[in-house]
Amino acid sequence: RVVVGTKVDQNHVNWVTAYNMLTGIRFTVSRTNAKMDRDLTDADFDAKHKFSFDMYVPEDFSFAGNELTPSAKYDFKFKDYAPWVFRHLRSIFGLDPADYLVSLTSKYILSELGSPGKSGSFFYFSRDYKYIIKTIHHGEHKFLRKILKNYYDHVQENPNTLLSQFYGLHRVKIPYGRKIHFVVMNNLFPPHRDIHRTFDLKGSTIGRDFKEEGLEENPRATLKDLNWLRRDQHLEFGPAKKKAFVEQMQRDVKLLQKLHIMDYSMLIGIHDLGKGNEENLRDKTLQVFQPGGEAGDAQPNMLTRTPSKLESARKAKELRQMIKTQKPVPMDQTATKMPDELEGQQKNNYFYVDDGGFRATHEDDTPGEEIYYLGIIDCLTHYNLIKRIEHRWKGLTNEESQISAIPPERYGDRFLKFISSVTKTREAAEREKAEESAH
């Protein structure tokens, strides 16, 4: 999102890592794209290629938090996994190869969304906010490689899948540093529209409450199941859209159950068409940090830093200008037709067809007042991994550990049941309420 995250520039502690990630992606993706397309073989799913890079650091170069001798050479190693599979995946997801490279390899690098989850993963947005780089644990990495064929087949059979779209799997290693595994995936949220409320839903109530005190100060907080229920929120899809949505979710969850995956969630960003798009410029609650500090002044925890208000406003304006100079984006009324003006955006997926999202509908299937940007995220947690982690947590009472580590089959059923049950039109919700109070 426009105002979320910290720009990763030369003064950022993770600049080298981010730079190496992008350099590696640029090199490996171009390398594969340069070849003639061909069908996949079984070996493509296991393929891995290792590369060594020399990075030259100029004399006058310095950046925060790192003791770099000028003029030294910094080498890094880069590993590219299943490049042909991901090339095909990108094509299935409707990505333009050139566009992908441009987004991920601009000089003005990325912005970092700190570590929004508990897992310790880092998130980086491409400069145009279309893509997210998420660092993943070795276990998740191994698991993705293991299930890649299943994932690929599923995506091929389900062009409208709600699952996270994976575009690349790589590893970077700096000398004496640790190995960092990461995936490139779709940013569910659009660069050009404010998201007025964000929810991360699992269908569980345990620990699924975000403290709402002071929420105004943090309008981009990700709320959870209990907040959703308390607000009596719904995914307002009329009959046609609800059917499509629930059926796709069922197919996606079936795969996750089969692969013994759990702990995933439905990420939902709500854009309120009534509120429009100006909020984040007026947002008085943005945390401010002082840019222009000395190099070396970087805080060890960059996660607490957000861009200054001025910087954010400028960036937002820039981006909006950029979007304006592209063609205007019409809101498609029927929503089943593809908007043909949304350049570089998903055109393949039914759920991302309304300006990158999925618009609410009324009972008669006429368009509603909100656009939902949604998808199933964090789907690389294998059941065994969860159990192992919980075993380490000796402090947990039996009851608690049972609740959180419910088996994948039940996890999926509960997830489906919850999300389906909150998918209803405003009219239906009001009717149900009236009926309830009548009894």
**177: Cβ–Cβ under 8 A, 6 or more apart, which residues?**
none
DSSP 3-state of 9? coil
Choice between 33 and 119, CB closer to Ca ion: 119
**Pairing mode of beta strands 367-377, 358-361:** antiparallel
Tell me the per-residue interface mask from 158 to 177 with ligand ATP, x by CB under 6 A, - otherwise: ------x-------------
| Contact with ligand ATP (CB under 6 A) among 8, 184, 185, 371 | 185
252 binds, among ligand ATP, Ca ion, none (CB under 5 to 8 A by kind): none
Q: Kindly write out the interface string for residues 362-381 of this chain, putting x where it contacts Ca ion by CB under 5 A and - elsewhere.
A: ----------------x---
Site string for ligand ATP, 217-246 (x = CB under 6 A): -----x------------------------
d(CA 227, CA 420): 17
- Among the listed residues 132, 172, 353, 405, the single contact to ligand ATP using CB under 6 A: 132
Q: Which of 119, 160, 218, 308 binds Ca ion (CB under 5 A)?
A: 119
Chosen residue from 43, 56, 107, 118 binding ligand ATP by CB under 6 A: 118
The CB-of-190 to Ca ion minimum distance in angstroms stands at 21
389, 262 Cβ separation under 8 angstroms: no
| Interface of this chain with ligand ATP, residues 264 to 293, rule: CB under 6 A | 267
Quote the least distance from Cβ 235 to ligand ATP, whole Å. 17
401 counts as binding Ca ion under rule CB under 5 A: no
Q: Name residues whose C-beta falls within 8 Å of residue 333's C-beta, 6 or more positions apart in sequence.
A: 367
Kind of pairing, strands 48-56 and 6-8?
unpaired
3-state helix, strand, coil in the chain (%, to 5): 35, 20, 45
What the block records as the tokens of 215 is 């929420």
In angstroms, the CA 79 to CA 83 distance is: 10
Rank residues 3 and 377 by Cβ distance to ligand ATP and give the closer one: 377
351 binds, among ligand ATP, Ca ion, none (CB under 5 to 8 A by kind): none
Strand pairing of 367-377 and 179-186? Answer: unpaired
Helices (H), 259-393: 279-282, 309-325, 383-392
In sequence order, which ranges of 294-335 are alpha helices (DSSP H)? Answer: 309-325
- Encoded one letter per residue, x for contact with ligand ATP by CB under 6 A and - for no contact, window 358-387 reads -------------------xx---------
Helices (H) and strands (E) in the chain, counts: 13, 13
Least distance from ligand ATP to the Cβ atom of residue 175, Å: 27
Residue 161 interacting entry, from Ca ion, ligand ATP, none, C-beta within 5 to 8 Å by type = none
265/119 Cα distance (integer angstroms): 14
Choose between 139 and 344: whose C-beta lies nearer to Ca ion: 139
Burial string for 36-66 (b: 16+ CB within 10 Å, else e) reads eeeeeeeebbeeeeeeeeeeebeeeebbbbe
Q: Which of 119, 160, 308, 420 binds ligand ATP (CB under 6 A)?
A: 119
- Which tokens hold the place of 308? 């200054």
Residue 267 interacts with, from Ca ion, ligand ATP, none (CB under 5-8 Å by kind): ligand ATP
Which of residues 11 and 346 has its CB atom nearest to ligand ATP in the complex? 346
Rule CB under 6 A: say whether 186 interacts with ligand ATP.
yes
Size of the site for ligand ATP (CB under 6 A): 19
For residue 164, the minimal CB distance to ligand ATP (Å) is 6
Segment (H or E) for 185:
strand 179-186
List residues binding ligand ATP (CB under 6 A). 116-119, 121, 123, 132, 164, 185-189, 198, 200, 222, 267, 377-378
List residues binding Ca ion (CB under 5 A). 119, 378
